[in-house]
Structure 1
């Protein structure tokens, strides 16, 4: 097989395996079957005529040749992305439609203000708005289903995505109904007490967080991908959980929910940073740049 047979997709898979640490982790990150990742690497090794990974250990390690070529692979991919981005910027006019996916924890107030401003600025551009949780947000951007995303509940940002931090974080509070067993505690709650009570947690529709949990402290849980359903379950006293403070403020003021005092409050459970994400190789057009500037506070 000639070296001309290698593809950019094979190089992207090579970089994904190196960055993720294993073939299975790279497959999850790319949203592909592990067999497809292994096949692509085998074809790349055949095209280059050298082994890239030592597979003798439980975790694949780059060979000497692989270590020598990985920097070149990254450089080629960066140049290819730059080429596509430059060509797109030269050819693109105003979008006919803009698709955006926002994290389920993104404040409703900010979302309404964004949509109202967008409609006033771009009345002729259709807006396709999605709301997802955890890994489903970057997955929709990576797949091309959405042009822009606001990622929050998943801290990991894939290397294929450009990410710009939003200036405000989402305040998060652990809450429960007033009649819940944890609500009446006079002292800060230890982890042992939290572990014994059902926690209502958000789950991921994608497979990007398979086998991982975020801010799950209880041994028993109720899992839902719907923040509204989680809110209703908490108000019904069926568990405790972390919620955006803005969403439950009325319930806290009315006594329908109470804030739990945790003895060991982890920093990641106090607030959630948000990032605007898009494919590096597919930057937004005029309407998308307006959204980017509006959300991040940057001119553009």
Structure 2
């Protein structure tokens, strides 16, 4: 029996986000459209995928079993569409990518070397940016491909695809900072000390009331923290790779925090073969 990609996508997004309304926002559809698509899928399969008795829908046992298969079908569909682009489209002569520092290339994967071998003639430009700056660079056409921490909403001009990869954010201070010796009291004392955070996080819900310095990228945030200026939320992979032994990770309740990432590109400018190579490598 055929299942529409729309119903499978609605089901997968609702399962991932924990609500039909959140899935509707992600898919830029009405909640009733998402609910109807999932109901049609349930009717086709003859099982209830969600328990709707509570405030938020919960996957049923059959729903959990169906979820893996639905994800595989959508992944295969995406691979087929990407293959059609590779077979039909010429390789773009230039590609600009903009990545958040929450993602750090794994040296063992040699992605840059493999890309250079696969596309020896292409001109690659690599930009670093965070949050809305990534979206602005992609939306404006300045970059063809972007990677950033998952957002609840995206501009209509942008298509977002989830990555299996995730990063971890932790809280760090310099070894000589007062919080480094605070132990279990550190969480209660954060607001008394200067926070260093990304400029894009000034209005972020996680920002703690109190004095703050800001910087446009994580590397500068890390450098300020290393100087003992204050405490900072930093990607663990970034610290492991670039810290010079000056930082200590604070053991705080709820930390480290897992950050999922999305790959984004302009809706009216589908990625070419070189951009799709990165999409495959990162997925």
What is the TM-score normalised by the length of structure 2?
0.63
- Aligned pairs for 1:1-300 (under 5 A) are 92-109=89-106, 113-152=110-149, 156-191=153-188, 193-204=189-200, 212-249=203-240, 256-263=246-253, 265=254, 270-296=257-283
What's the secondary structure of 2:263's corresponding residue?
Answer: strand
State the Cα distance separating 1:146 from its structure 2 match: 0.8
CA distance in 2 between counterparts of 1:262 and 1:148 reads 35
SS in structure 2 at match of 1:274: strand
CA contact (8 A) 2:105 2:111 kept: no
The answer as to whether partners of 2:130 and 2:216 remain within 8 angstroms in 1 is yes
Q: Which residue of 2 aligns with 1:76?
A: none
| Separation of aligned partners in 1, 2:184 and 2:89 | 60
Q: Residue 159 of structure 1 aligns to a residue in which SS? A: coil
Q: CA deviation at 1:243?
A: 0.8
Provide structure 1 residue ranges, at least 5 long, that are not aligned to the other structure: 1-18, 20-84
SS at match of 1:171: strand
Tell me how far apart the structure 2 counterparts of residues 110 and 188 of structure 1 sit (CA, whole Å). Answer: 37
Q: Work out whether residues 148 and 261 of structure 2, in 8 Å CA contact, stay in contact via their aligned partners in 1.
A: yes
Tell me the CA shift for residue 227 of structure 1: 2.0
1:132-172 CA-partner distances (Å, limit 9, x unpaired): 01100011111111111111275542233221111121111
Task: Determine which structure has the larger strand proportion and give its number.
Answer: 2
CA RMSD of aligned residues (A): 2.9
Where does the alignment leave 5 or more consecutive residues of structure 2 unmatched? 1-24, 26-80
Q: 1:98 aligns to what SS in structure 2? A: strand
Larger Rg: 1
Partner in structure 2 of residue 28 of structure 1 = none
Residue 212 of structure 1: how far off its partner (Å)? 2.3
Q: Is the 8 A contact 1:105 1:153 kept in 2?
A: no
C-alpha contact (below 8 Å) 1:101/1:131 kept by paired residues: yes
Checking the alignment, whether the CA contact within 8 Å between 1:195 and 1:217 is kept in structure 2 is yes
Q: Is the Cα–Cα contact under 8 Å of residues 165 and 282 in structure 2 kept in the other structure?
A: no
Displacement of 1:283 after TM fit?
Answer: 1.0
Partner in structure 1 of residue 61 of structure 2: none
Report the CA distance shift for 1:255/1:149 in structure 2 as closer, same or farther (over 3 A): closer
Aligned positions, number: 201
Alpha-carbon spacing, 1:234–1:155, altered in 2? closer, same or farther (3 Å): farther
- 1:167 counterpart SS class: strand
